[in-house]
């Protein structure tokens, strides 16, 4: 069975390129991503300019370090708050298919059910890749304007972690959209769950088991553990192993790929 | 004879509701096959199963003599239930997506829009279309790639009388080109005017299938009455070609003849020979509706 992913991506592109909400949310994401890093970078500069060593240390702890090699981790961590935007894009794009009943028409016109889901998954991975490239570019710009000419790719793994984290957020949103089928409901659940309940459940499980298990189990929190808050803050709330978090995140990604295909292949549309 | 579609014991349950029960049907190539039935009889469910948007509970489907595949559906122009398009896109953009999915390279989008009289509005967003225009766009989408088989579910839904006539004319032209057309409808007149074959569904059960002239054959009816002749049915039952005599309204009697065989002069002469002086003699065409009601009740 040939899925022909480039062909599927071309069809997805035809669907989104004329969709205004897609462009508005993408522009908002890019501007917000640059903006949030600029705010932190600017405040950090104020702490540095104060000349007070204690203030500089506090600034680094709270606002991160925008010099190489730490800039990759700092920008990834700051920007990860904005991963709701690409999630919203995927939710709107997916629920549109149900609202317009084009999910049925696409199958009637000759897409395989699996192809329909794989097209969305491939689009989601591509969107995560675009977000990651933007983060990489932003990191390089802030790194170059923050340092004293020193350049290093030492912390580049955090860009890779950001890619996995983006995939987890976007595919979680896609799975939710496929289950809920209504845009407003899916956006509401995604936002509130991601912001509050995922972490709340992680804390409860961890407290209940007196381990860091909750941070590994919850679908979004485990991806957040790839780009955890700065080390000093992390010491207070407990430390997790990034590589274990990476493995579990990839397992969740496998679930987000497998489950929607299976569900869509078996149900009445 | 090559069959475009073969259904064998096709069954669909929605929980306790049996939407389709053991439907077996063969649709030969080159026919205009009407699927007739009242609302809720299972017409759309049957087409949904054929087009793989519903999962059958039992039975099997064969398209073009093979187990159904996605590329079979690419070769069928299908309008099922409602026109489904991206609301924020115009006609051309929507048809480009449909063509890409169908694997049609260099689609003649202007050509198909012209055929359904939608060319002037090709750059308007779908959400600005009236129901009739949406229906026309759906039919235009079916025509992409010039498929040899088309499935239309209530194709004249939402169209005005001129639009209905145009779409009927289009279907006739497609049929004349040798295309196989499967058309579900609850409009008897529509089916009678364009279909060569018909299948009738009632509560999910296939109750009749075959050539439209056989299934929807309409008897000639002759309405007669005479003064004080309760024995009239007995006296006229031997009339040549008369199949049946039933009671009509207001003491009148209905003589049933096979289509095209009723002759008022012969009825009058025969009655007179039997000593009956008719005071009422009228040739009536039996309505298609009454035939349909007889079949589905």
Report the candidate in B293, B274, B275, B284 with the shortest Cα–Cα distance to residue B253. B284
The pLDDT assigned to B146 comes to 92
The pairs formed by A228-236 with CB atoms below 8 angstroms and a separation of 24 or more are A228/A77, A229/A77, A230/A61, A230/A62, A230/A64, A230/A77, A232/A61, A233/A61
Instruction: Tell me what the pLDDT averaged over chain B comes to.
Output: 87
Per-residue confidence (pLDDT) for residue A153, from 0 to 100: 83
In percent, the amount of chain A with pLDDT more than 70 equals 94
Nearest CB to A109: which of B54, B73, B86?
B73
Mutate to test the interface with B, among A18, A108, A262 (most CBs of B within 10 A): A108
Contact flag A108-B73 (C-beta cutoff 8 Å): yes
Q: Residues B97, B232: one domain?
A: no
Its ipTM equals 0.86
Residues in chain B: 297
A94 touches chain B (CB under 8 A): no
pLDDT value, residue B78: 94
* Contact status, residue B182 vs residue B44, Cβ threshold 8 Å: no
- At A231 the pLDDT is 56
Do the Cβ atoms of A100 and B87 come within 8 Å?
Answer: yes
Could you list the residue range(s) of the whole structural domain that residue B200 is in? Answer: 3-215
Q: Give the closest residue to B20 by CA, choosing from B39, B3, B45.
A: B45
State residue A83's pLDDT score.
93
Mention every residue, 6+ apart, whose C-beta is less than 8 A from residue B151: B47, B50, B51, B76, B77, B78, B79, B80, B142, B181, B182, B183
Q: Would the pLDDT of B262 be above 90?
A: no
Give one DSSP letter per residue of A49-75, joined into a string.
HH--HHHHHHHHHHH---STTTHHHHH
Min CA distance, A7 vs chain B (Å)? 8
Is the same domain home to B170 and B104?
yes
The pLDDT of residue B247 is: 82
Residue B37 is predicted with a pLDDT of 87
Quote the pLDDT of residue A149. Answer: 74
pLDDT score recorded for residue A233: 56
Per-residue model confidence as pLDDT tens digits over A82-96 = 999 999 999 999 999
Question: Which site among B72, B84, B99, B129 would you substitute to test the A interface, given the most A Cβ atoms closer than 10 Å to its Cβ?
Answer: B84
Residue in A7, A15, A109 closest to B86 by CB = A15
**B152 to each of A105, A113, B7, B95, B140, how far by Cα in Å?**
13, 22, 18, 17, 12
pLDDT of residue A1: 62
CA dihedral angle for residue B55, residue B60, residue B65, residue B70, rounded to 10 degrees: 10
Question: Which residues of chain A lie closer than 8 angstroms to B107, CB-CB?
Answer: none
Separation between Cα atoms, residue B95 and residue B140, nearest integer Å: 8
Both B290 and B202 in one domain: the answer is no
Percentage with pLDDT > 90 across chain B:
46
Q: Going along B15-148, which residue ranges are E strands? A: 17-28, 32-36, 58-63, 76-79
The answer to whether B155 and B139 are in contact (CB under 8 A) is yes
**Distance, first Cα to last Cα, chain A:** 22
Cα B291 to Cα A60, B37, B216, B255: the distances in Å are 86, 12, 7, 16
Question: Distance between CA B283 and CA B46 in Å, rounded?
Answer: 39
Q: Is B17 in CB contact (< 8 Å) with chain A?
A: no
- For residue A96, which residues of chain B lie inside 8 Å, CB to CB? 86
Number of structural domains chain B divides into: 2
Q: What is the dihedral of CA B155, B157, B160, B166, to 10 degrees?
A: 0
CA distance B150 to B139: 10
| pLDDT score recorded for residue B190 | 73
Report the range of poorest mean pLDDT among B119-123, B172-176, B255-259.
B255-259
**Cβ-defined contact of A268 to B53 (cutoff 8 Å):** yes
> CA quadruple A29, A44, A136, A222: dihedral positive or negative?
negative
Least confident of B186-190, B241-245, B286-290: B286-290
**b (16+ CB within 10 A) / e for B57-95:** eebebbbbeeebebebbbbbbbbbbbbbbbebbbbebbb
Cβ distance of A267 and B55 shorter than 8 Å = yes
Contacts of B52 in chain A (CB under 8 A): 107-108, 113
> Which one of B193, B215, B237 terminates a domain?
B215
Type and span of the H or E element at B151: strand B149-153
A108–B80 C-beta distance less than 8 A: yes
In chain A, how many domains are there? 1
Distance, in Å, from the CA atom of B134 to the CA atom of B125, rounded to the nearest integer, reads 11
The two tokens of residue A140 are: 């390089």
Report which DSSP code applies to B125.
B
What letter does residue B260 receive in the DSSP assignment? T
Question: In which domain, by residue range, is A157 found?
Answer: 5-266
Mean pLDDT lowest among A178-182, B7-11, B151-155, B220-224: B220-224
* DSSP-based three-state secondary structure for A218: coil
pLDDT tens track for B132-175: 889 999 999 999 999 999 999 988 887 888 888 888 888 888 88
d(CA B135, CA A44): 60
Minimum-distance CB partner of B54 among A14, A110, A268? A268
pLDDT value for B119: 93
Q: What is the mean pLDDT of residues A227-235?
A: 63
Enclosing H/E stretch for B224? strand B220-226
Contact A232, A58 (CB under 8 A): no
CATH code, domain carrying B260: 3.30.70.100
In chain A, pLDDT over 90 holds for what percent of residues?
Answer: 65
Of B84, B88, B101, the CB nearest to A101: B84
On whether the CB atoms of residues B223 and B282 are closer than 8 A, the answer is yes
A35 vs A55: which has the higher pLDDT: A35
Residue ending a domain, among B215, B231, B249, is B215
pLDDT at A236: 56
Q: Is A112's CB within 8 Å of B98's CB?
A: no
Convert the pLDDT of each residue in A148-181 to its tens digit: 778 888 889 999 999 999 999 999 999 999 999 9
d(CA B160, CA B153): 17
What are the CB-based long-range contacts (under 8 Å, 24+) for B231-237?
B232/B276, B235/B271, B235/B274, B235/B275, B235/B276, B236/B267, B236/B270, B236/B271, B236/B274, B236/B276
Residues 6+ apart with CB under 8 A from B46: B7, B10, B20, B23, B35, B184, B201
Q: Are residues B97 and B128 in the same domain?
A: yes
**Residue B169 forms contact with A (CB below 8 Å):** no
Flag whether pLDDT at B285 surpasses 70. no
Question: Is the domain of B207 the same as that of B265?
Answer: no
Same structural domain for residues B233 and B183?
no
Of B206, B204, B198, B239, residue with least CA distance to B222: B239
Pick from A102, A267, A268: CB nearest B85 = A102
Is 70 exceeded by the pLDDT of residue A139?
yes
What is the rounded average pLDDT for all residues in chain A?
89
8-state DSSP, B121: G
A232 confidence band (pLDDT: 50, 70, 90): low
In DSSP terms, B198 is beta-bridged to B34, B210
Q: Which one of B163, B198, B215 terminates a domain?
A: B215
| Whether residues B274 and B160 fall in one domain | no
d(CA A168, nearest CA chain B) in Å: 28
Query: Cis (ω within 30 of 0) for the bond into A65?
Result: no
Token digits of residue B270? 């025969």
Nearest CA in chain A to B57: A268
Tell me the three-class secondary structure of A149-161, residue by residue. CCCCCCCCHHHHH
Q: How many CB atoms lie within 10 A of CB A232?
A: 12
């Amino acid at each position: 069975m040939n899925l022909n992913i480039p062909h599927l991506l071309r069809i997805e592109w035809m669907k989104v390129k004329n969709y205004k909400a897609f462009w508005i949310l993408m522009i908002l994401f890019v501007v917000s991503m640059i903006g949030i890093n600029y705010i932190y970078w600017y405040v950090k500069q104020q702490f540095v300019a104060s000349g007070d060593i204690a203030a500089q240390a506090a600034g680094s702890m709270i606002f991160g370090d925008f010099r190489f090699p730490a800039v990759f981790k700092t920008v990834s961590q700051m920007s990860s708050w904005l991963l709701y935007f690409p999630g919203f894009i995927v939710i709107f794009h997916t629920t549109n298919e149900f609202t317009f009943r084009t999910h049925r028409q696409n199958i009637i016109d000759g897409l395989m059910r699996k192809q329909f889901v794989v097209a969305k998954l491939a689009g989601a991975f591509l969107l995560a890749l675009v977000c990651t490239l933007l983060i990489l570019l932003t990191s390089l710009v802030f790194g170059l304007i923050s340092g004293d000419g020193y350049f290093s790719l030492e912390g580049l793994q955090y860009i890779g972690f950001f890619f996995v984290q983006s995939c987890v957020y976007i595919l979680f949103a896609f799975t939710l959209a496929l289950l809920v089928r209504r845009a407003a409901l899916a956006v509401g659940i995604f936002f509130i769950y991601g912001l509050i309940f995922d972490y709340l459940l992680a804390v409860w499980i961890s407290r209940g088991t007196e381990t860091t298990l909750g941070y590994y189990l919850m679908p979004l929190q485990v991806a957040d553990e790839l780009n955890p808050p700065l080390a000093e803050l992390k010491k207070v709330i407990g430390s997790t192993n990034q590589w274990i978090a990476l493995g579990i995140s990839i397992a969740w990604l496998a679930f987000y790929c497998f489950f929607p295909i299976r569900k869509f292949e078996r149900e009445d549309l | 004879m090559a069959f475009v579609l073969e259904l064998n014991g096709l069954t669909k349950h929605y929980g306790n509701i049996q939407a389709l029960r053991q439907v077996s049907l063969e649709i030969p190539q080159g026919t205009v096959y009407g699927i007739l039935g009242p609302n809720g009889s299972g017409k759309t469910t049957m087409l949904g199963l054929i087009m793989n948007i519903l999962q059958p509970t039992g039975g099997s489907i064969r398209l073009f003599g093979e187990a159904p595949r996605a590329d079979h559906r690419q070769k069928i122009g299908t309008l099922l239930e409602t026109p489904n398009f991206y609301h924020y896109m115009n006609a051309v953009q929507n048809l480009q997506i449909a063509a890409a999915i169908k694997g049609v390279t260099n689609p003649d989008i202007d050509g198909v829009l012209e055929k359904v009289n939608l060319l002037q509005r090709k750059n308007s967003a779908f959400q600005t279309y009236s129901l009739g225009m949406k229906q026309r766009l759906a039919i235009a989408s079916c025509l992409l790639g010039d498929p040899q088989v088309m499935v239309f579910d209530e194709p004249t839904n939402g169209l005005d009388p001129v639009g209905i006539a145009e779409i009927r004319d289009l279907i006739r032209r497609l049929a004349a080109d040798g295309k196989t057309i499967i058309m579900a409808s609850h409009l008897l007149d529509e089916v009678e005017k364009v279909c060569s074959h018909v299948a009738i569904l009632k509560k999910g059960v296939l109750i009749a299938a075959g050539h439209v002239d056989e299934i929807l054959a309409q008897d000639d009816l002759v309405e007669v009455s005479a003064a004080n002749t309760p024995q009239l049915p007995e006296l006229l039952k031997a009339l040549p070609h008369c199949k049946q005599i039933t009671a009509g309204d207001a003491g009148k009697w209905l003589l049933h003849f096979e289509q095209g065989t009723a002759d008022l002069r012969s009825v009058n002469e025969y009655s007179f020979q039997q000593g009956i002086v008719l005071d009422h003699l009228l040739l009536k065409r039996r309505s298609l509706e009454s035939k349909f009601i007889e079949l589905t009740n």
